[in-house]
Amino acid sequence: MKIEKSIELYTKGKVNLVGAVNSPVRAFKAVGGVPIFIDKAKGSKITDVDGNEYIDFVLSYGPMILGHRHSKVESAIKKALKKGYSFGASSYGEIELAKMVCDAFPGMDKVRFVNSGTEAVFSAIRLARAFTGNNKIIKFSGCYHGHSDALLVAAGSGLATLSIPGSLGVPEDAVKNTLIAEYNNIDSVEKHLAKHNDIAAIIVEPIAGNMGVVVPTKEFMEELRDLTKASGVLLIMDEVMTGFRSKFGGAQELLGIQADITCLGKVIGGGFPVGAYGARNEIMEMVSPLGGMYQAGTLSGNPIAMACGIATLKELKKRNPYKDFEKTASFLEKVMKEAATKFGVDIQVNKFGSMINPFFTKEKVTNFKSAQTSDTDKFKTFFWKMMEQGVFLPPSQFESWFLSSAISKRDIYKVKDAIYKAMEAVANKAKKM
Ligand SMILES: *Cc1c(COP(=O)(O)O)cnc(C)c1O
């Protein structure tokens, strides 16, 4: 694999950027080697600065659900650009996207747009505290909810990969109201609820995607809903990853469970920086200017970002690719399992809708602890062998692979061959050791 230009940019980038990146996972630290630099992308493929073309399963960590530069999305952006980039006053696109979002999520009467998933989540927490008058929150280990202080405890994603317990610079005071429970373990939630009577909210990724894909049992989510309802605690579903991805109405539509507050991001902006949080009227009326919970944003509801989000969601709704996603994911699961069996590699494949990834372990993966039994060295070998064969995967064991509707049958057969070769490489490496 020729990556001279990426090496050159990596060297240059390190001078004025931290690790040459603007988000840690892009540094490829968990898989070693030099991070690739991207030149361009179109449809199901992404091309690096050395001209290597990859079938893209990163998809900007989820947003590019239609693939890159979908023609309808691109023309909507171009049209919006001609009218101006930011106004500091309201414009029609915000109303249109808000209606689409509220129609898709029946639990949301009103929505507030922000600029990232991180912002959506920390605002949702503030809102839950404002509404209940309580301070404590429960989060699950291995779930990632952005990089705000109170939530950087037992978080997955980059932190899981680097095994950093939380983060430097987060004062103890900032996390003292954050209680940790175990995913898929309702007892661990009940214990907290029994002990504390000042809990504002439980926040959960309804399909966990930041410790690799970890699927909740139906009972776990249902009990979570029942418990919160019975105790006056708000249920915040962080659908930044799953919103418009698991189904148009997110994991909530699929699970048939409604959150009190929903957080969105990623797909909602179609590649532009958009986040959102929303709830029923009673809760949202706490937010400024209607209520006393302050939250603002200079660029929130940006007209170009709204245009991209609207066009993406319109096309997504029309196309309804969710059944196809499931078929493709099932096919990939089958291929990975067959290849693993053929070469004698222990794997678990977790998937849900258009999110899938393998763990290199014998143990069934149902929470953060079992996810961490995965042999990350094997993942490393697998990752680079896939890259060599033109398949771009997230450079970490603990990230989900994403599907786009741009992926073709031909792409998938190419990926199948690549998986067999990569699995063989994993087996050969293990034999040598
Ligand atoms: C990505 C993600 C976030 C953070 O969103 P950013 O846009 O990166 O700030 C929060 N929650 C979940 C579940 C996510 O997947």
Give the Cα separation of 354 and 129 in Å (integer): 33
Cα(202)–Cα(263) distance, integer angstroms = 13
- 240, 252, 368, 402, best to mutate for ligand 1 pocket (most atoms within 8 Å of CB): 240
Q: Kindly give the number of the ligand 1 atom that is closest to the alpha carbon of 146.
A: 4
Statement: residue 164 has pLDDT above 50: no
Cβ count near 79 (within 10 Å): 12
- For residue 117, report the distance from its CA to the centre of ligand 1, in Å: 4
Tokens of 19: 């690790």
CA of 143 to the centre of ligand 1 (A): 10
Residue 24 near ligand 1, beta carbon < 6 Å:
no
Q: Is 205 in the pocket of ligand 1 (CB under 6 A)?
A: yes
pLDDT tens for 112-126 read: 999 999 999 999 999
From the CA of 77, how far away is ligand 1's center (Å)? 23
User: In angstroms, what is the span from residue 246 Cα to ligand 1's centroid?
Assistant: 15
Assigned fold of 4-65+321-432: Aspartate Aminotransferase, domain 1 (3.90.1150)
Ligand 1 and 155: CB distance under 6 A = no
In this predicted structure, the answer to whether residue 243 has a pLDDT above a threshold of 90 is yes
C-alpha to C-alpha distances, 327 to 176, 206, 254, 409, nearest whole angstrom: 44, 21, 16, 11
Q: Name the residue with the closest Cα to ligand 1, atom 6.
A: 117
Any atom of ligand 1 within 6 Å of the Cβ of 146: yes
Q: What is the pLDDT of residue 162?
A: 45
161: pLDDT strictly greater than 60:
no
Query: Percentage of the chain with pLDDT > 70?
Result: 97
The response to whether residue 397 sits with its C-beta less than 6 Å from ligand 1 reads no
Which positions are catalytic? 144, 238, 266
Please give the Cα distance from 198 to 133 (Å, whole number). 8
Q: Residue 155 and residue 23: Cα distance in Å, rounded?
A: 15
pLDDT value at 157 more than 60? no
Q: Is the distance from CB of 369 to CB of 182 less than 8 angstroms?
A: yes
Q: CA quadruple 12, 14, 16, 22: dihedral positive or negative?
A: positive
* Atom number, ligand 1, closest to the C-alpha of residue 23: 8
Residue 432 pLDDT > 90: no
Out of 22, 115, 116, 118, mutate this one to test ligand 1's pocket (max ligand atoms within 8 Å of CB): namely: 118
Ligand 1 probe mutation, 241, 399, 401, most atoms within 8 A of CB: 241
Which residues, in sequence order, are bridge partners of residue 179?
Answer: 138
When the pLDDT of each residue in the chain is averaged and rounded to a whole number, the result is 95
State yes or no: pLDDT of 68 exceeds 90. yes
The Cα 357–Cα 340 span in angstroms is: 13
Q: Compute CA distances 275 → 132, 248, 400, whole Å.
A: 23, 16, 20
Q: Grade residue 293 by pLDDT with cuts at 50, 70 and 90.
A: very high
Torsion 77-78-81-83 (CA) sign: negative
Reference 241, options 359, 114, 143; nearest CA is: 143
Q: What is the mean pLDDT of residues 344-362?
A: 97
Looking at the predicted structure, is the pLDDT value of residue 172 above 90?
Answer: no
Structural domain boundaries of the chain? 4-65+321-432, 71-319
Q: What is the pLDDT of residues 210-240, one digit of tens each?
A: 999 999 999 999 999 999 999 999 999 999 9
Q: How far apart are CA 338 and CA 428, in angstroms?
A: 17
Q: Is the pLDDT of residue 64 over 60?
A: yes
Work out which ligand 1 atom sits closest to the CA atom of 265. 7
Give tens-digit pLDDT for 398-427.
Answer: 999 999 999 999 999 999 999 999 999 999
Please tell me the total number of residues recorded for the chain in this structure: 433
For 71-319, CATH number?
A: 3.40.640.10
Q: State residue 163's pLDDT score.
A: 41
Distance CA 347, CA 338 (A): 10
